[in-house]
Structure 1
Amino acid sequence: MPQDLLTKTSFNLDTSGIAGFFGGEEAVTAMSTVHFFSGRWLLGWYNSPGSYTIAKCYGRLARGKLWRGLFLGDGSDPAELFGLGGKKGLRFVAAESGTNLAATGHLAYLLSKRCQGAEIEAQIIAGNRRNSCVNVSIVHLRCAPETRRYVESKRDSFSIFLALLTIFTNIAVCIVSAVYRQWYSFAMILLGITANGISCLVIGSAILELRHSQPSAGSPRGDGVIINDRDMIVLVGDEGAVNFVTGGSFLLDFSSKSISGGKDGSRKGQDLVKSAAQGHNVFPNDNMIPDSGSTATRKSLSDVALPSRVESLPSPSPSKPSNLNKIGACALLLTVQFVLQLLLIPQSSLFGQILFLFSLAVSWAYNSYLASLDRESLQINIISECLNLRPVAHKPVPKYDLATWTGAAVFVAYVLRPSNCRELLDQIIPNNTTTWSKFKEEIVHDVKSAPQLVAGEKDSNTVITQRAQVVDANIEPAEDA
């Protein structure tokens, strides 16, 4: 009988050596997606590989000397550990308030990634020279988000289907192990299902929020420009909206309310922020608009998202050590699982080891799917919806392509029309020789006398293009000075 060959053979796979390490990176990344998908925190009941890797990574969240000794770390910030923070944004120069930030925050980094990935709606090349491409994106911030808001996870039917398939497969394999009296395999699969399920419940029950500082009363408009070596992003909006971009951050609240009460209980009665991404596409297709200056057609830069409905949340209580210690307990449980697998799986027969390995393989495949999802894209969709960024009918927000850095700086001055235009030009173009100063004064005079232009309108695009070409023709004498 084939069954006898599997149960009575002396051959040993010894899968215990890979059970705690195989698929560890995928498992850690999969766990970090738990706050993005609705119900994901309830769907962790499968025998996940990489238990020791997960324990070492997320055990650092626990506070206290005991946990610090078991899981070496310095009490990492939860948001950074889950890939929701820690990225530095680019330099920001305000047009009116005088703010000059050498580095912005994580949300500005996400917005810059959003603009870099957008296709150019209309390529506008000013002048004859083209040393390097300078892209200028214009983002109209139509609403100022509340200083604190809860972010609702998106519903993904396909992800739920894969999770249920993985769970039922693991349970079926566990039952088969019991039917054929493979008790070591049965016990280790059941322990793996329990340990991973509890860990998902505890880690995933945290509340994901967005927060930023409240601007002081009477603050001027927050218009400004985000600058790097090759691109500029013009932000047009009030101080609150710009503060959200330049200094906002994600927050994971592990308070007792979120962990003991669960997500549904703690969030009852709040309006939900639904993700704009469908099928994880960050840049939905816009209407194709013909480019009068080129035979090619490009997509709009417009930040696309559905209108959001959000409510301010009361300031969350800091995550208490006792609550974070629950994560430490989960990490300890995962470590115990790893040790027991090392000891008991070799005692099982070949058939039991094959069943155990099969449950790991199915779970690894599901973890690999979750790890393949772009977490930055999911975050970009969240902030796009919070800022209510969407295309305006007949007024697509363009992304301009200029020939020189100086031409791009002058273009930004035309769009923002700051009260202190010279100061803005000095921040973007630090050259202050006599020739450059004269050139800047001419630009300041022209900007002040020019009518207000709205980037994206057909007539304004034509005027801006013509002026950019004239300015670019006058740049050479200044640059040669």
Structure 2
Amino acid sequence: MEPPLNNTKFNLDVSGIVGFLGGGEAISAMESMHFYKYRKWLSWYNSPGSYDIAKHYGRLARSRIWDGIYPGPNEEPAELLGLDGEQGPPYRGVVSGTTLNDTGHVGYVFAQYCRNAKATPSQYSSDPIFTTQTTDDQGPKPQQRKRKTKVMNVVVVDFDNVEDNDDSVEKGSHLTLDSKEFPFWSVAVASIPISLNIAYCILCGFYTEWYAFGVILYGILCNGIACYFIGSTEIYLTHTIPSPHSPPGNGILACKSDTLIVCRGSERAINHVVKAKFVVRYGKEGDDQTYHMIGFSAMSLTIQFIAQLFLIPLSGLFGQIMFLSTLAISWIYNAYLSSIDKGRLQQQLLERHLFGDDSNNMTKLELPTRTSAVVFAMLCGLPDLRGDPDANVECAKGIMCHLLPTDTKVWGRWHYSVCSKVRDLSERHSSGSVRPTSEPFRFTEDACQGFDGKDKSLLCDLLEDARGGYESYCQFLDSARHTPNSNSQSGSGSSLLHTYV
């Protein structure tokens, strides 16, 4: 049968561009395959950008031959697949005093997860916010003038239930998304480009457009095989193993300028975030067979690009239209896959490992000032206010100096006053006192002695923020006390609440 448009003299000479268009979308689409168990089976279509795909993923192959064909550094699979390379927020240990300027890619993903969580305004945020205060015999008294600084979010995360399965590479934890995360409609969407590519390939054979038929069929096979091997990965979370005699790993992540993340638990558990990294492995450990197959797949994509250069111009107009149609359909599908938020997929992967189905391990409060947020974070980070008062004061001082590193006299007095309150709380709770002689974190006139004018007003503002941070801490403990299945740290905090509220 004679194919349509066979007698026309018009020729679509697309041989010079078909191998380059759509490469970025195709590479981005492949970066989400390793998150899902079945996605590697759904790429049987003639994808555009074969040259860019081969050049990008050919660097995964590890041998002198492949290094010669696809020159460049042999990057780690995690970095090439977007699971490494970001800088995480700095971390400060409450007890150990450990300071990390960069918590790596896992810390970055965890910080983004915490930033996306919904915040609950604290009671102190709901109260009127003041700019100036006066003092009398009863302590600082706010005036009815509005005061507002940058709103801060504090996220308190408990890692008590985080465990290692110790069944994987380098004693790491094997990560995977549940099959329910891959909905059936995704398979239905993937079937559209696959079925249309196959249909157009059959049409080319039916109308004897054998050059276009061969190029389309070869492109379908090359892309499907390449995606299968590139997507055949195992993702692990590895971290350093601390000494079993290490102190509690409680610490604070300072995420940009508007969020503080308080991590509570053992040092081994918290290392899942602050000293961890994603590791991507192909095949069994020490087996390079899969890497060689990726190299052959990249070579086949390069051959596909060359075949398109020489064979498509030899095809008739109908075959060229069919070929371009498969590329257009595949490009649209790749663009759809590229729109998937890979960062969110990484957050879901980490969330399932850290918390499972338990949503009670994280609390996020919104506070009106950074000073109140630091006091709240400091109190939440202290492992046990019933412990040694001197140790608690040192921990509190280290955290406040790290998060509010100001050397002025006003701030020096503020640090001293807050540390005195921390000592008072710790001593009273250690002695078993049922009721304190004065309200906790209610400062007297002595706290402002030696200051006047603007310095005195500023100090009063800061002391009022410290009181607000303590009230937010009480609110947090009260919420934890009424939360079913609260963890052990929240339970001990509830006893403190009964003592001081």
With normalisation by structure 1, the TM-score equals 0.77
| 8 Å Cα contact 1:184/1:344 also seen in 2 | yes
Identity rate, percent: 36
Counterparts of 1:396 and 1:54, CA distance in 2 = 40
Does structure 1 residue 189 correspond to structure 2 residue 216? yes
Report the CA distance between 1:131 and its aligned residue. Answer: 2.8
Counterparts of 1:240 and 1:474, CA distance in 2 = 44
Counterparts of 1:114 and 1:161, CA distance in 2 = 30
Does structure 1 residue 424 correspond to structure 2 residue 452? no
1:187-246 Cα shifts (integer Å, max 9, x gaps): 000110111111012111121222222222111111110013332111122212210111
Report the CA distance between 1:109 and its aligned residue. Answer: 0.5
Report the CA distance between 1:474 and its aligned residue. Answer: 8.0
Report the CA distance between 1:352 and its aligned residue. Answer: 0.4
**Which residue number in structure 2 is paired with residue 152 of structure 1?**
176
Q: What letter matches 1:138 in structure 2? A: V
| 8 Å Cα contact 1:140/1:389 also seen in 2 | no
Counterparts of 2:407 and 2:304, CA distance in 1 = 66
**Which residue number in structure 2 is paired with residue 117 of structure 1?**
116
Q: What letter matches 2:246 in structure 1? A: S
Change (3 A) 1:187 1:396: closer
**Which residue number in structure 2 is paired with residue 139 of structure 1?**
157
Change (3 A) 1:91 1:389: farther
Q: Which runs of 5+ in 1 are unaligned?
A: 258-316, 453-463
Change (3 A) 1:181 1:198: same
Does structure 1 residue 34 correspond to structure 2 residue 62? no
**Which residue number in structure 1 is paired with residue 232 of structure 2?**
205
**Which residue number in structure 1 is paired with residue 93 of structure 2?**
94
Report the CA distance between 1:406 and its aligned residue. Answer: 2.6
Change (3 A) 1:475 1:467: farther
Counterparts of 1:201 and 1:231, CA distance in 2 = 40
| 8 Å Cα contact 1:46/1:192 also seen in 2 | yes
Change (3 A) 1:222 1:70: same
Counterparts of 2:188 and 2:280, CA distance in 1 = 26
Report the CA distance between 1:434 and its aligned residue. Answer: 4.5
Q: What letter matches 2:364 in structure 1? A: P
The structure with more radius of gyration: 2
Q: Which runs of 5+ in 2 are unaligned?
A: 131-146, 165-170, 384-391, 428-438, 449-454, 463-501
Q: 2:192 aligns with which of 153, 165, 169?
A: 165
Change (3 A) 1:430 1:396: closer
Does structure 1 residue 337 correspond to structure 2 residue 304? yes
**Which residue number in structure 1 is paired with residue 138 of structure 2?**
none
Aligned pairs, number? 404
**Which residue number in structure 1 is paired with residue 472 of structure 2?**
none
| 8 Å Cα contact 2:41/2:224 also seen in 1 | yes
Counterparts of 2:29 and 2:349, CA distance in 1 = 19
Secondary structure, aligned partner of 2:458: helix
Change (3 A) 1:141 1:131: same
**Which residue number in structure 2 is paired with residue 414 of structure 1?**
379
1:306-331 Cα shifts (integer Å, max 9, x gaps): xxxxxxxxxxx2563x5423222211
Secondary structure, aligned partner of 2:241: coil
**Which residue number in structure 2 is paired with residue 269 of structure 1?**
none
CA RMSD of aligned residues (A): 2.9
Q: What letter matches 1:165 in structure 2? A: I
Report the CA distance between 1:249 and its aligned residue. Answer: 1.6
With normalisation by structure 2, the TM-score equals 0.74
Report the CA distance between 1:465 and its aligned residue. Answer: 12
Counterparts of 1:435 and 1:478, CA distance in 2 = 10
* Mean CA deviation greater in 208-217 or 367-376: 208-217
| 8 Å Cα contact 1:142/1:389 also seen in 2 | no
Report the CA distance between 1:447 and its aligned residue. Answer: 2.1
| 8 Å Cα contact 1:88/1:109 also seen in 2 | yes
Q: What letter matches 1:477 in structure 2? A: L
Change (3 A) 1:19 1:447: same
Secondary structure, aligned partner of 1:7: coil
Counterparts of 2:440 and 2:296, CA distance in 1 = 62
